[in-house]
Chain A
Amino acid sequence: MSVHMTRLSIVPARRVAIGRALGLLVAVMIVGITLAAMGRPPLELLTLILRSTVGSRFGIEDLALFMTPLMLTGAAVWVGVRVGLWNIGAEGQFYAGAVAASAIGLFGTMPAIVEIPLMAVGGILAGMVWIALPAAARAWLGVSEIVTTLLLNFVASLIVFYLATGPWADHVTGALASTERLRVGLPEVWGAVHIGFFLSLLAVIALAAFLSRSRFGYESAVVGANPEAARYAGMAVSRNVLIVLLLSGGLAGLAGMIEVSGTVHRLQGGLANNYGYLGIVVAILARRSCLALIPAALLMGFILDTGIVLQTAQISASAVLAITGLVMMAIAVGDELSAYARPAIQPKTSGQTS
């Protein structure tokens, strides 16, 4: 007895959601059994995780702070993936945005009401500048943006280390390997949650609206789906590629600006916390929907936060990493499996499999 399956070319969102939920469930069960085998009561840990994340004021604040950069770096990667471009350099553009914002925040002399918007613009522009070269190389020379954007991450990270321990190092309060505290910061709205969270949320919603309604949104989608057809239809392929990548860099730069001015308040190495790379995961989780970046960032934040809770519950850092990987893989498998379905009409020759 065999079951014939076909791969659906378009998978309904609900199917994907069910596939992922099942994947997640399987992963949680495997983790639970493993923990039980290690002598750790899984239900107690689960209660602890829920209490420390969604079940407490601090936990919810932390989730919001995790989501803030993830929504933006997720969006940065997502706008590219949507048209078949892979910006692996969100980490670098994040740093570039943080550097520009810090320069204004450290050395500016204007009131906060002027300076904060200026820092945001500076952060976005710096992110765009950081991706400009890979974007131009991709648009006109066809150089793979994957490698170029990736390599610039290391350059950006080293520049931040240099600035934070060299010319911009804090010699006043004695903070090590970081700059002084920025003079201005994003106002906190709810506990430690600052307006950056709402800005990021708005940015994702605005992006979704813009891409679904504007001519650019349509054209870039066509360019992504079929550059030859787009060219035939008279669309400027190179220009669209360039704009998409600049938009991507700008979003990542904004994430860096918000992280440094809202959460960390000092420029320092390690600031990006892998948010640029995690943005890739968020973008993939969001699939075709821009608004889905919000729950995807929430899920990613929840997984990261869970990692921290598990570590304080004395599960080793490597085990936590393994668990995180397992959960992500289970979701990916669920995702992929949801694309397979039994066709409405089963072939008659049920005895043979081809």
Chain B
Amino acid sequence: MTALLTRRATLLGAGGLAALRPAAASALRPIREQDALIAFGHTGPVTDGGWTHQHDLGVEAVRAAFPRLKTIFVESIPYSADATRIFRQFVAEGAQMVMATSNYGDFIRDVADRAPEVAFMECDGRNVSGNLGWYYITHWYASYIIGIAAGLLSKSGRLGYVASFPISSVYAGANATLLGAQSVNPNATMQVISINAWFDPQGANQAGAALVDSGCDFLCGIMDEPAYLRVAQERHVWAAMWNTDMRRFGPDAYVSSVTLDFAPYYVQQIGDRLRGTWRPDAHFLTLGHGVDRDAWGRNVPESVRMQADAARTKMLAGWSPFVGPIHDASGRMRVAPGQTMDDMALYSWDWPLRGVSGLA
């Protein structure tokens, strides 16, 4: 908990973020538990077995902690003007707090601006206003740990990454994994395929197969569901996943997963809102406090587990692997020797690491 608080304090002290913070964000009034309506807007179906499912477990935890409040959710919200309609409908229904579990940008900002009495939180958001904040997980540390395992397990040194869109969470995920791999195999490279969706099992399947066809023997990515793990299982290559334990979809191929747990954070956020102490801010769930690597897969050798976990132990003690020199795909040095990329820099990573192809 202290690690979380210090990181949060550092984060809020960061100049760029301070500028985003409103001058006077006054707390919204407290609500009685039985009068509360908390709305959740999800990007995928709650049955995706991954991202949205993990958020839904958080919703369940909220219901268990506050049995008298009411929660509603809408799943598979498109990134179009329909999102605005849905958030607006939440407000019309009387929700006092709206949690969007994906980045809806202007679609949520427009609604938040017109409903100042409602609290809004956006996962992977970028805006903080008088009644809108954001939260995210520092998944790059878990990705780096898994990357070390990838570097040790991959025979060809070629990793494949199934991506959604070329956006910062993808850059951070792909770069951090490859950086971890390069720490044990300097020649490791990564090929990325973007499928323009977070939940498209068929697309992820095809991308995974294409990556294996082109010589990758370790698949990783950032999908809401487990499709490419099945590909890895069938094609006898390794795979690392996201969101949760997915080993049942490919027990032999499974290496680990970037696991997420939003439950304590959601309970705290909704509790703050009920007590009238909620304030919009930016918050990272950190390694060991909402994001981690999963228990290793059954075929991952003990030596690999130990080497990767050694880095994890160091990270938990405050070490960061994201120290320069770090070069981009064109060979240009982006992080000077000795300079450390802080969480805000990693959160807004927008260039591919040296060795990454397929990300512009």
Contact = CB atoms under 8 A, between A and B. Distances in A.
A65 B350 contact: no
Nearest to B75: A317
Interface string A306-319: 00110111101100
A312 B82 contact: no
A65 B81 contact: yes
B67 interface: no
Given A58-B92, A165-B166, A317 B72 contact: no
B105 A176 contact: yes
Contacts of B53: none
Given A273-B78, A308-B89, 7 more contacts: A52-B92, A58-B92, A166-B166, A175-B126, A176-B103, A308-B74, A309-B89
B196 A158 contact: yes
A62 B85 contact: yes
A259 interface: yes
Contact of B88 (A58, A175, A178, A272): A58
B93 interface: yes
Contacts of A174: 126, 168, 348
Contacts of A62: 85, 88
A268 interface: yes
A272 B74 CA distance: 20
Contacts of B348: 174
B103 A273 contact: no
Please name the 4 residue pairs, one residue from A and one from B, whose CB atoms are nearest each other, closest first: A174-B126, A273-B80, A177-B165, A175-B105
A298 B196 CA distance: 31
A209 to B, nearest CB: 30
A161 B105 contact: no
Interface in A266-320: 266, 268-273, 305, 308-309, 311-314, 316-317
A270 B80 contact: yes
**Most chain B CB neighbours (cut-off 10 Å) among A169, A177, A308:** A177
B339 interface: no
Given A266-B106, A312-B74, A165 B89 contact: no
B245 interface: no
B45 interface: yes
A52 B196 contact: no
Interface string A152-188: 0000001001000110010101111110010000000
B167 A165 contact: yes
A187 to B, nearest CB: 16
Contacts of A46: none
A264 B83 CA distance: 11
Contacts, number: 87
Given A165-B167, A178-B105, A269-B196, A264 B81 contact: yes
B163 to A, nearest CB: 10
Contacts of B19: none
Interface in A172-228: 173-178, 181
Interface in B119-149: 124, 126-127
17 contacts: A52-B92, A62-B88, A65-B81, A177-B165, A264-B80, A264-B106, A270-B78, A272-B80, A273-B82, A305-B85, A309-B89, A311-B74, A311-B75, A311-B86, A312-B93, A314-B73, A317-B76
A265 B84 CA distance: 13
Given A270-B78, A270-B79, A165 B72 contact: no
A158 B197 CA distance: 12
A47 interface: no
B39 interface: yes
Interface of A: 52, 56, 58, 62, 65, 158, 161, 165-166, 169, 171, 173-178, 181, 259, 263-266, 268-273, 305, 308-309, 311-314, 316-317
Contacts of A308: 74, 82, 85-86, 89
Contacts of A272: 80
B24 interface: no
B165 A175 contact: no
B88 A176 contact: no
A139 B124 CA distance: 49
Contacts of A158: 196
B11 to A, nearest CB: 15
A165 B106 contact: no
Contacts of A259: 81
Interface in B86-105: 86, 88-90, 92-93, 103, 105
A165 B82 contact: no
Nearest to A272: B80
A240 B105 CA distance: 44
A353 to B, nearest CB: 50
A165 B27 CA distance: 36
A264 B93 CA distance: 23
Contacts of A312: 39, 72, 74, 86, 89-90, 93
Interface string B312-352: 00000000000000000000000000000000000010100
B106 A181 contact: yes
B360 interface: yes
Contacts of B88: 58, 62
Contacts of A271: 80
B196 A161 contact: yes
Contacts of B78: 270, 273
A268 B79 CA distance: 8
Contacts of B124: 176
A58 B90 CA distance: 12
B168 to A, nearest CB: 7
A289 to B, nearest CB: 28
A173 B126 CA distance: 8
